[in-house]
Structure 1
Amino acid sequence: MKNRLWTMMLVFSSFLMLTACQNSMQNPTSTNQIGQLVDIPVATVSVDSDGDGVNDELDMCPNTQQNAVVDERGCHFTTGPEIGLKMEIRIFFAQGSSDLLPKYQPELDLIAEKLHEFDTATMLVNGNIAENEIDGNSLTAKSNTLAKNRAMIVKSYLITQHQIAPERITTFDCSARAPIAPNDTQEHRHMNRRVYGLVTRSDEDIYKTYQKYSKTDQCVEFKQDYHYR
């Protein structure tokens, strides 16, 4: 009799345990499941995969060589009897610096080669800074020396290394007035610490570009006397 009673108790206990397990598996609000529901934020990042200065979402030629001279579409410049000459270059700088990095020199050498080939071509160069490079208490920032120095370092390289006539290169000080990206992230500020250069022998292109960068609210032409050997 005792054995039968003990067996019935075991069966009843097993039934209760099985029922509890099934309820736990079917209950969507169990504590284990609640702990697994986590919202994962998704970050959006602008990427320039080929390093030509044009972000991937705007780049129509995504596989150009890093630091290549490209146009606004991210494609190599083109020349020819019908096309003429049009070259663009973007050079980026470390914060607070106007030092020309060696990786940009081969592209400037290529520009110098074309300037010699097209002896009537001219170049426009503008220097830019990011907003975090402006210091209200700095005379250097107030006089836009950093933006000017960035433009002048490019002009000086072409003159001293390739004997390009100074009058063929016009320099502009854009300060932080002509950003190409918001100044809200480190990557965007890096894009704004730049020199933009345009080489062309088309009078129409020169006029349009000069008008664009000579606006008083954007970029201001400046001249600086240097004595070259």
Structure 2
Amino acid sequence: MKRLLLLPALLLGTASFADNGNYEISPMIGYNLAEGNIGIKGDDHFLGGLELQYNYKDSKISPELSVLYSPSADYEGTGDTSITRTLLNGVYAFDKVGNITPFAKAGLGYEFVGTEVKNYNEDGLVLDAGAGLKVPFSPSWAFKAEALYLAKVSSAHNDNADNNLIAMVGLTYSFGATQETAPKEVVVVEKKEVVVAPIVVVVAEKDSDGDGIYDKLDKCPNTPANSTVDVNGCPISMDDDHDGVLNAQDICPNTPAGEAVNSDGCPATVNLQINFENNSAAILPSSNERLDRYADFLKKHTNYSAKIVGYTDSRGSESYNKKLSLKRATAVMQALVERGVNPSQLTATGMGEANPVADNATAEGRAQNRRIEAELTRN
């Protein structure tokens, strides 16, 4: 019994192997075929045992500790006899054949023979060698079978030593560190160069003169707003009334052809065609429509001023004619003010019979010379 107490100590002694691998523990049962030359009754007997194996991660050779026990090996004349064998082996694992792992092992151990006879000692050193296989049926469990040959090399009766052939089967349970598995395939992901598209900043183009042509393309950068221009931003010559002022700048777009105009296309001097009573400054009603139109123009274009100039024909004295022409010019100026024109836009003067536009020798010529003109100027 004391000898059996060595088993826990030996098992614990192998624990230091667990740092770098995994354990296998295998409870086994089997049958012992003995030569019988030391007097065992019936020679053969059943046995059981426990095997503890440590597997290195990087080696095919593993240490194994085995304890085999035969409780009923009777020797003649010794009464009940038991045999305990403690073996230390090196186990070599061959490459797998399908799902089967074959192995071979060899080592040495010690055999303890227990009898009821005092001073009877058959204990001794044994050598062993064997082979077997393991077939897993789950990640942790496997079926194990092996055959082992034992040769006793020392005992009290060396000439009568016993050799044994043992056949055993059992289950193997693996535990401890994770068993090494087949390396996983390393998938190399090709690193693709990431091309970052440049950020395009769209800068709003300027068109300072508002003619629809961007400044960088505009060869005439200061054309007035709303002018009709070509692809270079230069004004297209459009002058419908042919007064020399383009439509875009022409405030008076319908001046008669050939009439003198100012820079805005308006007549520099216009005959208002106002009619008066004979030798009087009283305006005839037939002139009201023309006064209304001219008053509207001045009210719309307050940046213009008009000088109202009165003329007469050559009949009568020069001084009389000058006074009459001033009275008539003043009457027209007053009529425009009454129609809403700002008085600051108006002045009046009389020129008498000066600057005739026709021949005073004829009635028709004298009628043309009796006139009221407005000279238009920009303020």
TM-score (norm 1): 0.46
- Larger Rg computed on CA atoms: 2
Larger relative contact order (CA 8 Å, sep ≥ 6): 1
Which structure shows the bigger proportion of residues in helix conformation? Answer: 1
